[in-house]
Amino acid sequence: MDGPAGVGKSTVGHLVGKALGYHFINTGEMYRALTWKALEASVDLNDEKKVLALAKRLRWEFRLTEEGTTLRTYIDGQGVSAQIRDERVSRSSSLVAANPGVRQLLCRLQRRLGNDGGIVMEGRDIATNVFPDANFKIYLDASIEERARRRYRQLKAAGQAANRRKIREAILTRDLNDIKRKINPLSQAPDALVIDSTQLTLRQVSRKILRHIKQHAR
């Protein structure tokens, strides 16, 4: 499953994975984890060689959550879920995601996780590059206004300060970086089911996907 920032891929992927009894994997976590580690170690994110060397030094692991539905990223034995949601990590991760060596390394890990099937994986290049032969491909989309509104509500609900205009700008910048990059940019696989979730709840989206899978399962 692919799609732009803030479109609800994780929520939907988790719901679909749970319903199918499959493991859910959010690949953005891997790019974010490396970004966080590089920022921590004061590695210049523009220095592709240094960032790649760091990625290779790290011990990458994927552990199931207690619930048993999601595979989470651990680096050097440490879970990174909290740290990687930091605003600075969000802003900087598209630079790390444009690093060709890093993409190669992380794609290899992603393929290893999914080679035996039984997974729902989300990101930007999953259906186009990581698993071009996936049984089911979904491209999730929503208007920028709706995505900004959802993010605004999330932040407010978490008691955090939020500015709707700034959120919209940040999402647009991240989309542009993901679409414009030379290697494995965000794009719709020609054979993907495209779902516009602007007018739908994420539960409705996941039901739609499950119906599609049921109808087309061989």
Taking the complex as a whole, how short is the minimal distance between the CB of residue 95 and ligand DC, in angstroms?
Answer: 8
> Of 26 and 206, which CB lies nearer to ligand DC in the complex structure?
26
Closest CA to 73 of 37, 103, 101: 37
Closest CA to 124 of 70, 61, 189: 189
> Of 80 and 209, which CB lies nearer to ligand DC in the complex structure?
80
Contact 27, 122 (CB under 8 A): yes
Residues in contact with ligand DC by CB under 6 A are 5, 27-28, 31-32, 93-94, 97, 123-126, 174, 178
> Of 124 and 168, which CB lies nearer to ligand DC in the complex structure?
124
Taking the complex as a whole, how short is the minimal distance between the CB of residue 130 and ligand DC, in angstroms?
Answer: 7
Taking the complex as a whole, how short is the minimal distance between the CB of residue 211 and ligand DC, in angstroms?
Answer: 25
Q: φ and ψ at 148, to 5 degrees?
A: -65, -40
Contact 121, 137 (CB under 8 A): no
Contact 8, 140 (CB under 8 A): yes
Q: Return d(Cα 168, Cα 59) in angstroms, integer.
A: 35
> Of 90 and 198, which CB lies nearer to ligand DC in the complex structure?
90
> Of 93 and 206, which CB lies nearer to ligand DC in the complex structure?
93
> Of 125 and 146, which CB lies nearer to ligand DC in the complex structure?
125
* Residue that is written with structure tokens 């859910």 in the block: 24
Taking the complex as a whole, how short is the minimal distance between the CB of residue 26 and ligand DC, in angstroms?
Answer: 7
Taking the complex as a whole, how short is the minimal distance between the CB of residue 155 and ligand DC, in angstroms?
Answer: 15
> Of 119 and 126, which CB lies nearer to ligand DC in the complex structure?
126
Taking the complex as a whole, how short is the minimal distance between the CB of residue 33 and ligand DC, in angstroms?
Answer: 10
User: Do strands 78-79 and 138-141 pair parallel, antiparallel, or not at all (unpaired)?
Assistant: unpaired
Q: Return d(Cα 50, Cα 56) in angstroms, integer.
A: 10
User: Do strands 23-26 and 70-75 pair parallel, antiparallel, or not at all (unpaired)?
Assistant: parallel
Q: Return d(Cα 131, Cα 136) in angstroms, integer.
A: 10
Taking the complex as a whole, how short is the minimal distance between the CB of residue 116 and ligand DC, in angstroms?
Answer: 19
155 contacts: CB under 8 Å, gap ≥ 6: 161, 162, 167
